Structure 1
Amino acid sequence: MVRKNDNTFKTLLEILLISTRLGFTSFGGPIAHLGYFHEEYIRRKRWMDEKSYADLVALCQFLPGPASSQVGIGIGVIRGGILGGITSFIGFTLPSVIALIIFAMFLHHFDVADAGWIHGLKIVAVVVVAHAILGMAQKLAPDRKRKMIALAAIVGTLLWQTTFTQVGIIIAAAVIGYMFFRHQQEEEKSHLHVPISRSFAAGCLIVFFALLVVLPVLRELTSLEWVALFDSFYRSGSLVFGGGHVVLPLLEREFVPTGWMSEESFLAGYGAAQAVPGPLFTFAAYIGAVIHGWQGGLIGTVAIFLPAFLLIFGTLPFWGSLRSNPHVRGAFMGVNAAVVGILISAFYQPIWTSSIQAPIDFAFAAILFSMLAHWKLPPWVIVVTGALGGTLLSLL
């Protein structure tokens, strides 16, 4: 027993050390994170074979939530069980959480809303989302049917900006995807060996859906701000298909119109989130810290990532049979196309309308976009250039 406990501790320590190093160095967004994971976990450590890793990535692309974080959690689970998944998440996420909470506290003590570098970060947000749109549209909406789903999502989210619009669009897209794409051919099969029982997995899925129902009810019954904060972050983390950039419109509509934070503060934090390594979902730490200090930052982090944990724990044991179901594959193809439309809607409002206010802003955005898309410069370089350029623009 002692030897087994020693081995477990060594495994968890190894996961923590490697994931923390990745948390400090993984710049570039979710696709880059998957490359870092492949190099470290698959090629160097050989914790999984190539096909199993591809299967895990495919699962996390299907699920709502932060895909790269879910892949990291899944690798930790396969290596060290449930504690391994939690340890992997902590190491990969904590560096950016701390950095964004510190940034939020800095903004709180200094009035920088009208600073030139803040405007520069808002232009950076335009560039990053535009780049994400192009890449995602090519992959998730390549044919006419999926382009029409994306178009309907754009129109719906722009004309009917309610709490339930995006949920309704995602449900409708799933139904349409099922109708159009349920006969899509499946790729080569493989199976992941996961040290989680199916009963525990089913329990996680029950908790996931129960919280989606219970938290809004508690929010109305108690009127407690902490409950409302947790509910807003949890729903945002539960309903995001397509990765971290798509969480922007959900979070913006939860926290800006309600008066919890200003649009300038929101977009400044989004720009800063591009400059730190790790998952973009840690933007929730910044929002929580702006509203309620470091305690709010921790609440935001736990709430927005909790759905990712429940879903990855709940689906890993069932993924083999789930992936072979053509109806499920078809539904998710429709949902992924709708994600493109939601992202384009967010690109127009609030990002474009509040950031590009003059021809010189557009010209600067074009330069930053070329640096990111054509010159392939790291995102942190774009952020630093945007902040410096914004400062110079304010002097003109």
Structure 2
Amino acid sequence: MWQIFIRFFMLGLTSFGGPAAHIGYFRQTFVKELNWIDEARFGSLVALSQFLPGPGSSQLGFAIGLSRGGLGGALAAFIGFTLPSAMLMYLIAVTSANVLGQEWFNGMINGLKLLAVVVVLDACLGMFRQFCQSTAAKLLMAASAASLLLVGSSLMQFAVLLLAAIIGSRLLVRGEGDAAPVRGIGWGWLGAFAALLLAAVALLPTLAPGSAAWLGAVGFQAGSLVFGGGHVVLPLLEGHFEAVMSPDRFLTGYAAAQAIPGPMFTLATFLGADAATGDSVAGALIATLGIFVPGFLLILAFLPAWQGLSQRPRIAGAVAGVNAAVVGLLLSALYQPIWTSAVSGPRDVALIILGVAALKLLKLPILALVAAFAAGGGLLL
């Protein structure tokens, strides 16, 4: 268990670049260097993590740990990979408020908000090329983006993803006929997930914003409904936390999540610590567990049956539909709240263009861009 923890802890300290980059780090470490799993098994786990809602790269790490060391190995992988970024996000939450009035800090945050535009724009382009190759997928993406720009509620996001899955299962199917019934689903884990999600949805309107139960319910609902991981969780959380913090404060957390290694879902750590009406440590812990637990329950439920399930053409089509809708969701988030909160004039647009060039043409690492945008924002305020 300690070996699993240490390997994932080191990755949590050094894995910059978001979920797609994390997959590359995992492959290099666990397939190429350690030979814990082979290429075929790794590819199957990647597919499962993309099929299920939740934090994709963290679910992949959890599944690798589960395959290597059972439930204990899965927990060791999760704690190791998440702990560095969660601690950093908590420290940022409890210390940044003391310097928010200072010009240099506000400039640095403005610079990081502009970097968020660059990163999300790059994610939109990359995911579009990967998931929107057919005309039907492109139309699903466009319809999803337009719907979410017009009605940006969490309910609309869920409806868009559900409808995309149904359409994908009809229009994006490859092959003919379904395989034999799949066995091995962990119904106990799946039942726990369903019960907790229903409780979170039912109780959330009755809970006091900022309370421990409210933080847990918001986190669990977001972690249960977000497909695509990383950036896509932003609009799912923003609608809830606008009741307890300003848009600038929310985007401060999002910008900080861009700037650190490890899973972007530790944005919940920042939000929990900042919004908690009680102890900030408890708030951060509850929000963090709330957003990660749904995806892990689903991994535990479906991993044993995934090999057979993923070969069913209609399931594969539904996944393709959801992936196309995720690109549309991400595109809508690029405009609101990211672009509208970060860009105020031609100078900001110019910095974004330079950032895109540095990322795509010069291939600068994300850490270098973080430093450049933070420094540039502070100097150009």
Secondary structure at the aligned position of 2:37 is classed as coil
Secondary structure at the aligned position of 1:302 is classed as helix
Q: Which residue type is aligned with residue 261 of structure 2?
A: P
Matched, 1:66 2:55: yes
Report how far residue 338 of structure 1 moved: 0.5
Q: Does 22-31 or 314-323 show the bigger shift?
A: 22-31
Any gaps of 5 or more consecutive residues in structure 1?
A: 1-11, 190-196
Report how far residue 216 of structure 1 moved: 2.3
User: Which of 115, 127, 134 is 1:136 aligned to?
Assistant: 127
Q: Which residue of 2 aligns with 1:7?
A: none
Q: Give 1:299-338 correspondences, 5 Å limit.
A: 299-338=286-325
Secondary structure at the aligned position of 1:164 is classed as helix
Q: Does 233-242 or 82-91 show the bigger shift?
A: 233-242
> Is the CA contact 2:200–2:218 (under 8 Å) kept in the aligned structure 1?
no
Q: Which residue of 1 aligns with 2:266?
A: 282
**Distance (whole Å) between structure 2 residues aligned to residue 121 and residue 243 of structure 1:** 20
Report how far residue 222 of structure 1 moved: 5.1
**Distance (whole Å) between structure 2 residues aligned to residue 36 and residue 118 of structure 1:** 28
Q: Does 209-218 or 163-172 show the bigger shift?
A: 209-218
Report how far residue 366 of structure 1 moved: 0.9
Q: Which residue of 1 aligns with 2:80?
A: 91
Report how far residue 198 of structure 1 moved: 4.0
**Percent identity (aligned):** 43
Report how far residue 372 of structure 1 moved: 1.6
> Is the CA contact 1:271–1:383 (under 8 Å) kept in the aligned structure 2?
no
Q: Which residue type is aligned with residue 161 of structure 2?
A: I
> Is the CA contact 1:125–1:267 (under 8 Å) kept in the aligned structure 2?
no
Q: Which residue type is aligned with residue 70 of structure 1?
A: Q
Report how far residue 221 of structure 1 moved: 4.5
> Is the CA contact 2:201–2:221 (under 8 Å) kept in the aligned structure 1?
no
> Is the CA contact 1:61–1:67 (under 8 Å) kept in the aligned structure 2?
yes
Any gaps of 5 or more consecutive residues in structure 2?
A: none
**Distance (whole Å) between structure 2 residues aligned to residue 281 and residue 169 of structure 1:** 22
> Is the CA contact 1:108–1:290 (under 8 Å) kept in the aligned structure 2?
no
**Distance (whole Å) between structure 2 residues aligned to residue 85 and residue 178 of structure 1:** 31
> Is the CA contact 2:54–2:227 (under 8 Å) kept in the aligned structure 1?
yes
Alpha-carbon deviations, 1:57-107, whole Å to 9, x = none? 111111111111111111111111011101111001100000011011112
**Distance (whole Å) between structure 2 residues aligned to residue 91 and residue 124 of structure 1:** 27
Matched, 1:148 2:139: yes
Q: Which residue of 2 aligns with 1:33?
A: 22
Q: Which residue of 1 aligns with 2:44?
A: 55
Report how far residue 300 of structure 1 moved: 1.3
Q: Which residue of 1 aligns with 2:248?
A: 264
Q: Which residue type is aligned with residue 213 of structure 2?
A: V
Q: Which residue of 2 aligns with 1:192?
A: none
Matched, 1:207 2:195: no
Q: Does 314-323 or 32-41 show the bigger shift?
A: 32-41
**Distance (whole Å) between structure 1 residues aligned to residue 203 and residue 342 of structure 2:** 36
Alpha-carbon deviations, 1:324-375, whole Å to 9, x = none? 1111111111111111111111101111111111000100111111112221
Please report the RMSD computed on the Cα atoms of aligned residues, expressed in angstroms.
1.8
Report how far residue 151 of structure 1 moved: 1.0
User: Which of 322, 339, 350 is 2:337 aligned to?
Assistant: 350
**Distance (whole Å) between structure 2 residues aligned to residue 123 and residue 218 of structure 1:** 36
Report how far residue 220 of structure 1 moved: 3.8
Secondary structure at the aligned position of 1:274 is classed as helix
Q: Which residue of 2 aligns with 1:239?
A: 225
Alpha-carbon deviations, 1:193-246, whole Å to 9, x = none? xxxx947x2111111121111122233455472222111111111111112111
Q: Which residue type is aligned with residue 61 of structure 2?
A: G
Q: Under a length normalisation based on structure 2, what TM-score does the superposition of the two structures give?
A: 0.93
Q: Under a length normalisation based on structure 1, what TM-score does the superposition of the two structures give?
A: 0.90
